[in-house]
Amino acid sequence: MRTVALKRHHRAAPLILMFALLAGLTMAASFARSEPAQATVASEDAIQEGQKLFAANCATCHGLSAQGQDGVAPTLVGVGAAAVDFQVGTGRMPMQASGPQAIAKDVQFNDKQIAQLAAYVASLGPGPSVPDAEAVDAALGDPANGMQLFRTNCSMCHGSVGGGGALSQGKYAPALWATTPTHIYEAMLVGPQSMPVFNDANMTPEDKRDIIAFLEEQRDGAPGGLSLGTIGPVAEGLWAWLLGMGLIVGFTVWIGVRSS
């Protein structure tokens, strides 16, 4: 079952190579053509569309000119396109109710709309932009350095390999199993909600890519079998009692029952 998926390390090697080649080609093409299309120099059209979307979906809390409201929502002037792409792209925004924990829901906008929203917010003041494909390409990263950085800076909240964990007062750090590399990068850059900011001086763009590479490694599966959520000894103890002791005690009952 699982083993099949895990074997791709071997069998999928040619596929991955081909994919990497393809990705490289498209990237080269996009560099050649669409680099100016990045959020920094977004078209006026996009900004205008974004403003409309903003007024319709975000202004209730953040204010018509995104200046924010005390105690309700922060100002968005200067948060940059990266913050919008992360918050809206993971479904955290728009929020249902103001609070410290923004829950990732179904994404409510399509990629184009998100880009338009991002372009609008980016136009309000300078801020971090959405990283390009090379910046988040796990294949270029060093997972060993990523591990060092992850365990020093991230694992206390997100768990040793990104399984997530609890914060105070009901807040939590989410699991990172399904988070896209771009969103991981953006989260580090902007520090959404409870998460601190890891700017480029603290963690260079290469460092961030190394972290992505480390997290990608985890998706190859666990060497020892099913990973029990990677939440550590509590899960192991629970399984030892439920499954291990359960099975063995079941056998003792079978031994004790008279045969018919």
Partner 1 sequence: MSTDNVNHQGGAVDEEFTDPGVPADHRPRRADVDPKAANRAERQVAAMFGLSVLGTVIAIAAYVMSDVGGDNIAGVQNSTMLMGLGLFLAMIGIGTGAIHWAKTLMRDHDMVEERHELRSSDEARAGAVDNLKEGAKDSGIGVGRRGLLKGSLVTALAIAPLSVLVPAIGNLGGDWNVSKFRHTMWKQGVRLAKDPDGSLIKASDVTIGSVFHVIPDGLTELEHHQLEEKAKAVVLLIRMSPDDLNVQPGREDWSFDGIVAYSKICTHVGCPVALYEQQTHHLLCPCHQSTFDVANGAKVVFGPAKRALPQLPIAVDDEGYIIAKDDFNEPIGPSYWERLK
Partner 2 sequence: MTEVKTAPTDSRLNRAAGSTASYVDERTSIGAFTKFIARKIFPDHWSFMLGEIALYSFVVLLLSGVILTAFFVPSMDIVEYEGEFAQLKGLEMSRAFESTVHMSFEVPGGLLMRQIHHWAALIFTASIVTHMARIFFTGAFRKPRELNWLVGFTLMILSLAAGFTGYSLPDDVLSGNGLRIIDGVIKSIPLAGSYISYGLFGGEFPGEALIPRMFTAHILLIPALILGLIALHLFLVFLHKHTQYPGGGRTDKNVVGLPLFPVYMAKAGGFFFVVFGVIALLAAVFQINPVWNYGPYDPSPVSAGTQPDWYMLFIDGALRIMPGNFEYVIGGFTLSLNVLIPAVVLPGLFFGVLALYPWIEAWATGDRGEKHVLDRPRNAPTRTALGVALITFYVVLVLEGSNDIVASLFSLSINDLTLMFRITVIVLPILAFIIAKRLAMGLQRKDRELVLHGHETGRIVRFDNGEYIEVHEPLTEQERWVRVSYDALKPRELAPELNDRGVRRKGYRWDRFKAAWSRFYFEDRVEPVTPAELKAAEEHHAHELESGKKAAPEDPAIHP
Which residues in this chain contact partner 2 in the complex, by CB under 8 A? Answer: 142-144, 146-148, 151-152, 155-161, 163-166, 168-170, 172-173, 214, 217-218, 222-228, 230-241, 243-245, 247-249, 251-253, 255-257
Taking CB under 8 A as the criterion, the residue among 29, 178, 197, 243 binding partner 1 is: 197
Q: Do residues 126 and 101 make contact, with C-beta atoms less than 8 angstroms apart? A: no
Question: Minimal distance in Å, beta carbon 12 to partner 1?
Answer: 10
Amino acid in the structure at residue 128: P
Name which of 41 and 238 has its Cβ closer to partner 2.
Answer: 238
Which residues, in sequence order, are CB contacts of 163 under 8 Å at separation 6+?
Answer: 175, 177, 229, 230, 231
DSSP conformation class of 172: E
Contact 11, 4 (CB under 8 A): no
230 binding partner (options partner 2, partner 1, none; Cβ < 5 to 8 Å by kind):
partner 2
* CA–CA dist 5, 130 (Å, integer): 31
Q: Quick one: 125 or 232, whose CB is closer to partner 2?
A: 232
259 binds, among partner 1, partner 2, none (CB under 5 to 8 A by kind): partner 1
Residue 164: name its binding partner from partner 2, partner 1, none (Cβ under 5 to 8 Å by kind): partner 2
Query: Which helix (H) or strand (E) element contains residue 166?
Result: strand 165-166
Question: CB of 122: closest distance to partner 2 in angstroms?
Answer: 33
- The residues in 106-145 that bind partner 1, with binding defined as CB under 8 A, are none
Name which of 47 and 81 has its Cβ closer to partner 1. Answer: 81
Distant-in-sequence, close-in-space partners of 75: CB < 8 Å, separation ≥ 6: 62, 63, 66, 67, 68
CB of 45 vs partner 2, minimal distance in Å:
42
Q: In which region does residue 178 sit, left (phi positive, over 0), alpha (psi from -120 to 50) or beta (all else)?
A: alpha
For residues 28 and 222, which CB has a smaller minimum distance to partner 1 in the complex? 222
142 neighbors 205 (Cβ within 8 angstroms): no
Q: Please, which residue, 33 or 258, has the CB nearer to partner 2?
A: 258
State the binding partner of 54 from partner 1, partner 2, none, CB within 5 to 8 A by kind: none
Burial profile 19-55: b = 16 or more Cβ within 10 angstroms, e = fewer: eeeeeeeeeeeeeeeeeeebbeebeeebbebbbebbe
Residues making contact with partner 1 (CB under 8 A): 3, 6-10, 100, 148-149, 152-153, 156-157, 165, 167-169, 171, 191, 193-199, 201-202, 220-225, 251, 254-255, 258-260
